[in-house]
Amino acid sequence: MSATTRVPRGVVAGNWKMHMGPDETRAFLAALSPRQGPGRPQVLLFPPAVSLAAAVAAAPSWVGLGVQNIHWEDKGAFTGEISAPLARAAGATHALIGHSERRHVFGEKDAEVARKSAAALRHGLIPVVCVGETLAERRAGQANPVILRQLDAALEGLTGSGVGFLIAYEPVWAIGTGETATPQDAADAQGVLRGRLRERIGGDADRVSILYGGSVKPDNAAELMAAPNVDGVLVGGASLEALSFTRIVDAAPDR
Ligand code: 13P
């Protein structure tokens, strides 16, 4: 099946990381004004957990909200952690799982990504599972094996879920560096991921949105989102400002 016959949902997501308190969140949402209508992408925001309540209160209905991380247990003595049921109760519909900063700064392993993915699905949170290779892995010719290993591990937690998850390909060397993967780089890697999804979940693979993330800006978003197998973008730095993020949402093609 070619990329053009697929019908994945277009998605533009903003990961605010450790930025944006409640007041900034409210101001952002008041100023966010992308084009709306049939065929326009789903807009998702991942504020810090302390700003989720402000976001829930201020977000228009066309903005979905998520958390940046969850614990795999439902409850317990895990100081500083947030469970999937807590995130759901606070109004999140999505959860980033296995973001590269979780993996590389906090040492999160593939097995934990699988457990977190399973926990999200168990409680009706849609996981956005992040995969991506480091520069050293890319230079060693290991990019595809690494992202496939990460995907396979996550799928252990996602098995049987049908299409209730998203994948984000975020090459670590392109995150926060200004170094963007070319549309061809993104299409190649995301084609590899799509191929593995087809092996694992058959035709449902064509309905899984695969996002690209890494130095996405208003000026490169349209070109990236026009690439085959790039169903949307996961934006860090350029999602912190309403005008910039609005321009990125507006750069998405109609689907
Ligand atoms: P930047 O857009 O700042 O490179 O961050 C990408 C990212 O990590 C989104 O999750």
User: For the segment 144-167, what is each residue's pLDDT rounded down to a tens digit?
Assistant: 999 999 999 999 888 765 558 999
Sorting pLDDT into bands at 50, 70 and 90, what band is 196? very high
User: For the segment 106-119, what is each residue's pLDDT rounded down to a tens digit?
Assistant: 999 999 999 999 99
Domain, as residue range, for 180: 11-22+41-70+94-241
Tell me how far apart the alpha carbons of residues 93 and 203 are, in angstroms, rounded to a whole number: 25
Residue 71 a catalytic site member: no
Sorting pLDDT into bands at 50, 70 and 90, what band is 4? very low
Q: Is residue 252 part of a domain?
A: no
Q: Is the CB of 44 under 6 A from ligand 1?
A: no
The minimum-distance atom of ligand 1 relative to the CA of 177 is: 4
Share of the chain above pLDDT 90, in %: 87
Tell me how far apart the alpha carbons of residues 93 and 34 are, in angstroms, rounded to a whole number: 21
Directed axis angle between helix 143-158 and helix 183-201, to 10°?
A: 40
Q: Give the distance (Å) from ligand 1 centre to CA of residue 111.
A: 23
Residue 104 a catalytic site member: no
Q: How many domains, in total, are found in the chain?
A: 1
Q: Is the CB of 186 under 6 A from ligand 1?
A: no
Looking at residue 158, what is its pLDDT?
A: 84
Q: Is residue 205 part of a domain?
A: yes
Q: Is the CB of 237 under 6 A from ligand 1?
A: yes
Helix/strand/coil (H, E, C) string of 3-26?
HHHCCCCCEEEEECCCCCCHHHHH
Share of the chain above pLDDT 70, in %: 96
Mean per-residue pLDDT, 46-50? 98
CATH of residue 178: 3.20.20.70
User: For the segment 10-32, what is each residue's pLDDT rounded down to a tens digit?
Assistant: 999 999 999 999 999 999 999 99
Q: Is residue 128 part of a domain?
A: yes
